[in-house]
Structures are given as C-alpha cells and as structure tokens.
Structure 1
Amino acid sequence: MSKPLVSVVVITYNHENYIKQTLDSILSQNTDFDFEVVVGEDKSPDNTLEVCKRYGDRITLIHSDENVGMIPNFIRTLEAAKGKYIAVCEGDDYWTDPLKLQKQVDFLESHPDYVICWTDYSILKDNGELTSTDFNFNEDVVEINYNNLFRPYCTYTLTSMFKQEAFDFELYKSLKYYKDNSLYVLLLREGKGAFLNFVSSVYRIHEGGVFSLTSNYHKNYTSYLNIKEIMDAVPESQTKNMKRVLHSLGNATAFGLLKLKQKGEILTDDQLKFMTDYFKNGNFKTKFKYFKRRFLK
C-alpha cells in the first residue's frame, strides 16, 4: 500500500464480543483512496487480541505484554498512524455507513479551513434497543467552534475525523487530564469543525463500557478537570460558551457530592476539598443554591 490518505485508529480492551463487528465495519468502507487500520490492543484479559490477530496484514496491530491504560494506548496508536487524516473508532462501537470515510474526506478536502468533522450516530443499549440522538439540527453542515462546542454534545469520538497536521501531539501528551475533549479543543485552534448531519455509526452502551456506565459524579468530575485544564492551556478557547460548559460541569460535580454527603456517604478528602472550595469561590447564584440545599431542606 502507498501512504494511506486516512488512518483509522482503533483502541480496544476487553472487547472480544464486539471487536469483529468494529473491524469488519471499518474494512468494508468504500473509498477511492487508500486507508489503514491501526489497532491498539491493551492486554485484554479476554480473547480480544486473538480476534484481532485473525485479520493478519489487513490491520496494523499494536500490543504489549502489559496493560498500559486507555490514554497511553490511544497515544501509542495515534503515533503509529501515517495518514493525512485520522478517524477514530473504539473497539466496542461500529460504523453503519459504508461511505463514512469517503464523505468525511470529501468534505475536508473541499473545505481546507476545516480541521475536524463529526457525524450523527445511533445509540445501541444493552437491551438491544437502537435509539436516535436528539440534536435537531436542520442544516446538512453545522459549524463547530469555541462558541458552540459541547452544546449540544454532538462530538462523539467514534464519528470523528481530523487533519493530523493540525494536532499538537506534544501539548496533548503533556496534559494530566487529557481525553477526547482535549483533542477537540486543541484542533479548533487551527481551524473550524463541522458536524455533518448524517448517521454513520453506532455508539454501544454496555456493562463493560469504559465511560457509558460510569457514575454521573465521576463523569462530571473528570470532564470538569479535563475542560478546565485544556481551557487553561488554550486561552483562545475561553469563550462565554466554554465558560458556561465548565460552570455547568462544576455545579453538577459539587452538588452531586453534596447530595452524596447528605445521604450519609463518606467523601474522600479530595472530594470534600473540591466541594468546599467550589462553593466558597462560586458566584452568588451558586452560593445561594448551595445555601438552600444545605440548610433549608
């Protein structure tokens, strides 16, 4: 194969029951360009690695004798990607539109001021129910920038494609709380983002999912730390919209902790410090809301 135009990056852990559907959906893409599939397998305790090995030279398989963790696995898999564009799909999700890659490449190639794009997707619940999102966009293409990023949260990793040259890899690796949100904020320094209004993929919610069944408190807290860190690193991202996103996540975290405490759960020192500091430094509305919940109920 000549140098691929697109690298599809797949990270997988404990996905024995799903990874075949993921890889088959990627390898069945119809394109007029070459693409590679780079799979990072993170020492799964099940047979995920064995399933991946069956694909032979149709994929580039990265694995090791020890578990390195989700983000280090993502980074080492990204580092192996050779394409001008990178598309991402985790090993328990899958694509449904055989022209997904072609449509996204066509858009990015014809719109050089855009550096990343996403699409709509469906949600597959653990009980087999397939549901749609409710973004309610009327346009075929919706511009995504710091003024509307994450409102609504339509930028899911399994649909993303971005220009590799626009990605500041070293800054990304230097972050303590990095995740896919960090990647998006970094990329939007270099150009615009686009939501392409067609369904290309399925996001799977299941018992073994890393994030989909995580507690609301943990989701909010880790997202708060992540967004705060990346906004500090990218000052131009500190728009009114992004500040609202951060405030919403902070409120959800602090009031979630307060609710747990009022139920009699024992909070860690870090949790207590976060909650105390957040309410102490919050605006008047936050403090008043805290006062009502703390003392008037």
Structure 2
Amino acid sequence: MEDQPNDIMVSICCTAYNHEKFIEQTLEGFIMQQCNFKFEILISDDASPDNTASIIKKYEDKYPDLFRVFYLKENQYSKGIKPLFNILFPAAKGKYIAICEGDDYWTDPLKLQRQVDFLEENLQYSCCFHRYLTLEENGIFKDELLPHISVDTIINTSIFFRDWYTKTLTSLIRKSDLDKSKYYKYIDARDTVLFYELLNVKQGICLNFKGGVYRKHLGGIWSLKSALGQKKISTIVLEEIYSFNKKNLTLVNYIKKNIVFLITNQSFKSNLDLYNKLNTIYFKNFLIKQQILKYKNSFLNMFNNKV
C-alpha cells in the first residue's frame, strides 16, 4: 500500500458488529486523542441488527470531518470477507494505521501521539504495540502481558510466537510496510497473519505503557468460542502461515505444540476429520508428521471409544 499525498497522519480503523453496548466508549476513546497531527476515523458496521449503526451515525453527524463510515447492507464476515482488510485498509489515507474493534477501547489520550513519535523516530520498525488490560465478563480487569515485562520490548518473528504480546487495539502500523498481496493469499487472514507478515518486513516493539482495554463478553465473535475452539482455529491459521514460511523453526515448534494438544485432547475425540486435516499436503514433508503418527493410535482409540 503506497502512502497517499495528504495531511492525515493516522487512519483509525474500527470494525463493528452488534456493539451497541460498547461502541460509544470505543468512539470516545478515539475522539479524546490529543495529537499534534491530523487523524481520521474509519468505521465499518457489518450490517448490525442492533442499534450499533445508529449510535455511530450520531458521532458521524457530530464530527463529519473526522468520520468516514461504511454502513454495510449485508453481513460480509459471514461471507468470508473481512471488512478490516477488504474495506478499511484500502480506504485509509494515513501514513499509519491504528486498529480497534468496536467492543474494545482506548484509555490513554496520548496513545497515538506516543506511538507515532516512536515510529517517526525509528524507521527500522514496521509496527508498535503497547500494554493493555483485559476486562472479563464479571467486570474484573486483568493485566495480560507477561509479568516480567516492564520495559519497551523488541518483537521479532521468533519472540512473536513464543510470547503473545498484543491485541489489535494496541497496534499502530506503518502503512508503507503493508503488502496487500501477502494477506490476500491467506484463506484466513487474522491478526496473527497481519502481525507476522509485518514482522517479516521489519521488527516491532511493545511500548511500556497501558493504552487500552480488550473486552471479553458473551457477544464477542472470539469470546463466544470455547478455549478449545479458539485453539483449533489458531492451529489452522498457524498451519496456513507455515505453508508460506517453512524455514521459521520457532514457528515449526509452536505449531507442533499446538497440534499435539489438539490431537490428544479428549474434547476432539469424535473429530476424525481433524486428523485427516493435519495430515494434508502442508505437512507431508514436515517433521510434525512424526508427531501425528506418534499419537495416531491413541487418537483413533478415542474416536472408536466415543460415548
């Protein structure tokens, strides 16, 4: 993606769906940003059946020079189309892209200024993140970052798969380091893919300040999935990343650990298709096949002895 000639420094990209309970707090987090540069707010409402769109419209009417909103008539996510990648990123005019989903929110009014200042002064980074809190369904806040991390921390592809540092709400991306062709080749281009490919271009960094809150709730697309369901999706995404990046040994070991977890877990004992999928063309010449074969008998026994 080439930078476009304009005076907008940051494009805030927000995807929303059924977020009527949360979207106002999200938008207020955008508006409160104190910056010495211009930013724009791009929102896609993916045909929400609740009042999300009407709440967004109030803000759009109040700040017409700040907001650009895409009110989608039909839900695109259900069709396999990702509004973030397919709608918001192509429309972004800024030199940098910040991401925040419509149920998360920012808490630091200097978040964007801190991140832009860093990337402007450090051209060797493709992206930067910051610490965040997780708000549980029961109202309890948790600090998700590794407790031993108390300084700015450089992130490369190896560290990225060893320790998960971030959520999309913490990210600021140098748009010139985005390569659309890299993401469109993926069937499931999630945030894992986005950040991994950015770190393949240049390193990233997690800045040591807490700038926002990741919200877990029953209506969240990811939160609705069980822990095992999340693990299964993550493994499939990692499998696809591996198919394009077979030389990353840290990635290989990470995938191996995840696949062994899935194969041996009782909750998947009736899923014979999982075994077949893990033995696809991606893994024919991959050392993980040895692990699959090792656990094959116990996996099939679980399948045959299902209740």
Cα 1:230–1:105, aligned 2, differ >3 Å: closer, same or farther?
Answer: same
Counterpart residue number, 1:255: 264
Contact 2:132-2:145 within 8 A present in 1 as well: no
Give yes or no for the alignment of 1:120 onto 2:124: no
Give the unaligned 5+ runs of structure 1: none
3-state SS, counterpart of residue 82 of structure 1: coil
AA matched with 1:243: V
Of 54, 61, 64, 2:72 maps to: 64
Moved more, 48-57 or 68-77: 68-77
Which of 46, 50, 54 in structure 2 is aligned with 1:42? 46
Which residues in structure 2 correspond to 1:141-180 (within 5 Å)?
A: 141-180=152-191
Corresponding residue pairs, total: 288
Question: 2: CA distance between counterparts of 1:113 and 1:241?
Answer: 22
3-state SS, counterpart of residue 83 of structure 1: coil
> How do residues 199-210 of structure 1 correspond to structure 2 at under 5 angstroms?
199-210=210-221
Cα gap change, 1:255 to 1:274, in 2 (>3 Å) = farther
Q: Name 2:273's counterpart in structure 1.
A: 270
Instruction: Establish whether residue 192 from structure 1 lines up as the match of residue 192 from structure 2.
Output: no
**Given that residues 157 and 200 in structure 2 are in contact (C-alpha distance below 8 angstroms), is that contact kept between their aligned partners in structure 1?**
no
User: Are 2:264 and 2:298, in contact at CA under 8 Å, matched by a contact in 1?
Assistant: no
Equivalent residue for 1:240, pick from 234, 249, 259? 249
Say whether the 8 Å CA contact 1:41–1:63 is kept in structure 2. yes
Displacement after TM superposition at 1:270 (Å): 2.9
* 1:97 aligned partner: 108
Q: 1:276 to 1:84 in 2, by over 3 A?
A: closer
Give the distance between the partners of 2:111 and 2:20, measured in 1 at CA: 24
Any conservation in 2 of the 1:25–1:94 contact (CA below 8 Å)? yes
Cα pair 2:13 2:41 within 8 Å, conserved: yes
Q: Secondary structure at the match of 2:119?
A: helix
Structure 2 unmatched ranges of 5 or more:
1-5
Scaled by the length of structure 1, what TM-score is found?
Answer: 0.88
Q: Secondary structure at the match of 1:189?
A: helix
Who is 2:11 aligned against?
7
The residue number in structure 2 matching 1:133 is 144
> CA offsets per residue over residues 27-59 of structure 1, 9 Å max, x none?
101111111110011000101000000012131
Question: What is the identity, as a one-letter code, of the residue corresponding to 2:69?
Answer: L
Distance 1:234 1:3, change over 3 A: farther
Contact 2:263/2:275, CA 8 A, preserved across alignment: no
- What SS class does the counterpart of residue 194 from structure 1 fall into? strand
